[in-house]
Structure 1
Amino acid sequence: MTSLLDGPPAAAPDSPLLGSQLPRITTVPPTRVSSAGQEAVELAALAGLELDPWQQHVLDMGLSERDDGRWAAFEVAVNVPRQNGKGGIIEARQLAGLFLLGEKLILHSAHEFKTSIVAFRRIEQLIMGCPDLRKRVLRVRRTTGEEAIELVTGQILRFLARSGGSGRGFTGDCNILDEAMILGDDAMGALMPTMSAVPNPQLWYLGSAGIGAPSMQLGRLRARAMAAVESGEPDPSLAYFEWSVDPHRDECGPGCTEHASADDPRAWAVANPALGIRISAEHVRNEQLSMGSGGIFERERLGVGTYPSDGADTWQVIAEDAWRALTDGDSSMSDPVVFAIDVTPERSHASICAAGYNGQAVHVEVIDNRPGTGWVAGRARELTEKWGPRCWVVDAGSPAGSLLDDLKRALRPEQDDEESWGDGDDVALLAPVVTPKVREIAQATGQLYDAVVAGQLVHLDQAPLATALAGARKRDLGEAWAWSRRTVGVDISPLVAVTLARWGLNAEIEEPEEEVEPWADFG
């Protein structure tokens, strides 16, 4: 069963605009003969969770069964903009796993701990608020990092945060991966082997539009769904549901009807099944005015994502074999250590990377690659106090340049009083902050490239850095080149930060001039 649906039917002139209850992009395995979805919907209603038609549709298709009783879909993916109600699907699936399907262990993971905790509290309220379900609960664990609900019959629902490395080694009958747009090879590599011994496992991915390199796994699932749609042959093990629009291209003429316009309420309805239910058209209009035309509204509300590619267009600058050959899982840095910061153009992610010597080679490492930028300054302070780096490197002309004042403020010695702070340039910081010129950035890029070719660089084969290199492109700077920041679908901030950190090992550092007290005061 595959389709590319045109969107919701036209509403009557005086009726509110309602979101499409069917996804624009979908594929379901052809082996479906029955479904546990209706029972899951009825159980959710018993617990006080009334599901929208689109949520019921996902459960019906996602819980399809083959004639041998096994799941038709090993993997179920829901790609829908925020605040539409994917949490209701998660909760209904968890209730079904615990109370209907007899799944011994259900693992719910999210990228961040706080998201996992919110999900735990929501399902706990549903279960404990329903007498018929509450009486089957043996215990509820609320210890931080050990949150779980256990039934008297032995079924367990556990909540984990992927960013902390939790869940490795747990064998779940059902694994629910929330925030699926932040899910890469490391997490999947830890998860997949644990499911090989499970008789009838199922993976559920739930998230919103892809945000570039962190969306590696979601990109793979979407590529499989698109291939099924284009070929007319359903994917044999994937149920995929995406609410999104196909936006206008630069070459579209004024009368184009094939692609969607961001200011067209009909496009909002195609991408948001909860429009007119829990999301109002007025709110969407306000979002559009607030987010502007930089692509954020299209991603967050219209489901227009960017996804990494596994195709032949990868590894164009540095060959994958050459990069992998430099892997040393036991490598570490020795003093001096340099840290560098970079931020994506749309400011969705930031990276802190480090470089230091390992014998004759230079060790490079991704320290942090996280959503947003608000965490950077505080983390820089922690790293500085722990490592005492030679310097921090930030390209002042890049998106990371806006963090310079916050960085310097974070690196300011605690004993300095606020009145003497100024812009920080005249204060002896805990570590110097270096801002390379354009020619020095070109030199840094060339030096990293040469080090790879000469085998004078070692790394830990971290996924964010490998993904960045796989999609990296060159940006011409006359007779030199640097990394292109505008490569579609790729977060290259780890690569840029590693490049700057390596350069910083030999960069000239201007020491702040000491203010000399006059030996006499002439009034």
Structure 2
Amino acid sequence: MPISLSESPRGAGRPRVEVVPPHVFSLGAEAVELARRAGLELDPWQQDALRVMLAVREDGKWACFEYGEIVARQNGKGAILEARALAGLFLLGERLIMWSAHEYKTAMEAFLRLRALIRNLEHVGVIPADTVKTCNTNGEESFEIRATGQRLKFIARSKSSGRGFSGDCNLIDESFAYSAIQHAALLPTMSARQNPQIVYTSSPPLDGDSGDVLFALKARAEAGGDDSLGWRDWGPAANLDQLDRLNLDDVALWAATNPAMGVRITEETIRRERRSMGAPEFARERLSVWPRQLIGGGAIDPANWAALMDPESRRDGDVAIGVDIAPDRNYAAIGLYGRRADGYGHMQIVDYRPGTDWLLDRIREWREAVNPVAIAMGRACAASLDVELEKVGITRPEDPEKPRRGDLAVTSAMEMSAACGQFLDGVRQRTERYVPDAANALDASVAGAKVKQNGDTLVWARKESAADTSPLVAVTVARWAWHALSHLVDQNVSAEPTFALL
């Protein structure tokens, strides 16, 4: 006799990991009601997701700049995105909502579902007929509110799909296939938005050598202390290398990891999957068990990096400036490094923007503001700025043994290798702290960073890295300059800076 849905054990109401940033109220209930009127009845766990996602701080900004929901396929995470998209259009007044998926067909399925929901809203009179203009052109699928120009666009992600779009809300469907390169392309476009948000929904990464962005988010969530991240992970604590710790036939485990069990997923269905799939595949696809991240694929362990984040970090005393330009010159970064009163290193990205035309003015402004030990950069970056730097009086010291404050410090090949190695040591030993920048550019740079070795030397692999390395290189050379040159310059304490977050 077939097993009815009502006879299946019910899925858990709460995930194993739930991170909720501080907030004063939430617009989740309003989003849930709008979805209901569109014919989208959300389960309690989906409603909870929206309450966390749409939590609001005292200043009116989203508590969750980033929000992630990690749960197995067919549980209904797509409905969470649908409700968020409807809220963005009809409740929140967001100008541009970008829905991206790994594959075109997935993005189009979402487009068709939203089209049906919008038609339902028109049918029941929530919005007048012909309020929304629908574009069905291949590759340009979108909805636009005629009166306001608000848009909801659907795209299949590519390496450069984040460039040129500055969405108030970015919905990252199938986030397991969302790369650090795509993340680095997206983040700077959001910095000019007044109240942006990124929402990730996914099952765990397919293997330990991919999913850098998800692994980094997971590490930040589990480390705690990040008040800009909301996170709900339905998977168990064990990873795919630890399946001996799990009873894959335990119905209670199935229910704990599948909130829709007994609602739209039956016990019979899961038993059938268990018989037909290998243990690792079943664990990952149905139980949301994460793979163990292969650190060889990325240079920096996300857990180590997440442990260094401190939004309240402040340096005490001298600071060095680091500058770098991406090899393709699409972006440039300025970083600072100093020492805190408690002895930890302090680093942060203070500027990260497209192009390079802005860079020289900002270097000069920061030099005047903080009276740095040095302004450090690699040889290629220095060569490309040599003439412009000389025009504004930023040059190498006449006597390398007697540098002056604000002099240019250019790393040799061996010094760059030492800088990279020492940076890695500091991260692994957790003797550094960093302030997350508004665009999370440094986090994205670290998540995709790789190293290359040539004999005894080790440097950041600029071409092989899965993200723009300029933010990482900027703080790397700033750290090197502070340690290598502080004892050579005069010991006068620099003036208090006029810029924040130091």
How high is the TM-score relative to the length of structure 2?
A: 0.57
- Structure 2 matches for 1:124-139, cutoff 5 A? 124-131=115-122, 132-133=126-127, 135=129, 137-139=131-133
How high is the TM-score relative to the length of structure 1?
A: 0.55
Q: 1:264 aligns with which of 232, 239, 250?
A: 250
CA distance in 2, matches of 1:63, 1:38: 9
The aligned counterpart of 1:490 is: none
CA distance in 2, matches of 1:454, 1:186: 28
Matched, 1:71 2:62: yes
Q: 1:208 aligns with which of 203, 207, 210?
A: 203
CA distance in 1, matches of 2:204, 2:239: 17
CA distance in 2, matches of 1:174, 1:465: 22
Q: Which amino acid letter does the alignment assign opposite residue 213 of structure 2?
A: Q
**Partner SS for 2:127:** helix
Rg larger for = 1
CA positional deviation for 1:464: 5.5
Distance 1:40 1:464, change over 3 A: same
CA contact (8 A) 1:81 1:272 kept: yes
- Structure 2 matches for 1:78-227, cutoff 5 A? 78-131=69-122, 132-133=126-127, 135=129, 137-152=131-146, 153-163=148-158, 165-211=160-206, 212-227=208-223
- Structure 2 matches for 1:352-501, cutoff 5 A? 452-453=454-455, 461-463=463-465
Q: Deviations over 1:109-149 (max 9, x none)?
A: 11111111111111111101332336263410111111100
**Partner SS for 1:181:** helix
The aligned counterpart of 1:46 is: 37
The aligned counterpart of 1:361 is: none
CA positional deviation for 1:168: 1.4
CA distance in 2, matches of 1:313, 1:462: 10
Q: 2:21 aligns with which of 29, 52, 71?
A: 29
Q: Deviations over 1:65-112 (max 9, x none)?
A: 011211111000010000100010000000000000000000001111
CA contact (8 A) 1:76 1:239 kept: yes
Q: Which amino acid letter does the alignment assign opposite residue 282 of structure 1?
A: E
Q: Deviations over 1:274-304 (max 9, x none)?
A: 00000001100110110022x1100001111
CA contact (8 A) 1:33 1:64 kept: yes
After TM superposition, the structure 1 stretch with the greater mean CA deviation from structure 2, 41-50 or 109-118, is 109-118
CA contact (8 A) 1:109 1:178 kept: yes
CA contact (8 A) 2:159 2:181 kept: no
CA distance in 2, matches of 1:66, 1:37: 14
CA distance in 1, matches of 2:467, 2:29: 44
Distance 1:451 1:222, change over 3 A: closer
CA distance in 1, matches of 2:284, 2:141: 32
Q: Which amino acid letter does the alignment assign opposite residue 120 of structure 1?
A: F
Q: Deviations over 1:190-226 (max 9, x none)?
A: 1000000000011101110122332110111101111
CA distance in 1, matches of 2:467, 2:229: 29
Q: Deviations over 1:212-262 (max 9, x none)?
A: 33211011110111112xxxxx52100000111234998999xxxxx5311
CA contact (8 A) 2:104 2:155 kept: yes
CA distance in 2, matches of 1:252, 1:107: 37
- How many pairs are equivalent? 314
CA contact (8 A) 1:180 1:207 kept: yes
Matched, 1:241 2:232: yes
Q: Which amino acid letter does the alignment assign opposite residue 262 of structure 1?
A: L
**Partner SS for 1:77:** strand
CA contact (8 A) 1:112 1:163 kept: no
The aligned counterpart of 1:290 is: 276
**Partner SS for 2:75:** coil
5+ residue gaps, structure 2, are: 1-5, 302-325, 330-450, 470-502
Q: Deviations over 1:299-355 (max 9, x none)?
A: 001111125467999489xxxxxxxxxx9769xxxxxxxxxxxxxxxxxxxxxxxxx
Q: Which amino acid letter does the alignment assign opposite residue 191 of structure 2?
A: S
Distance 1:173 1:249, change over 3 A: closer
The aligned counterpart of 2:287 is: 302
Q: Give percent identity, aligned residues only.
A: 45
Distance 1:453 1:134, change over 3 A: farther
The aligned counterpart of 1:399 is: none
CA distance in 2, matches of 1:157, 1:251: 42
CA distance in 1, matches of 2:239, 2:133: 53
Distance 1:111 1:251, change over 3 A: closer
CA contact (8 A) 2:241 2:292 kept: no
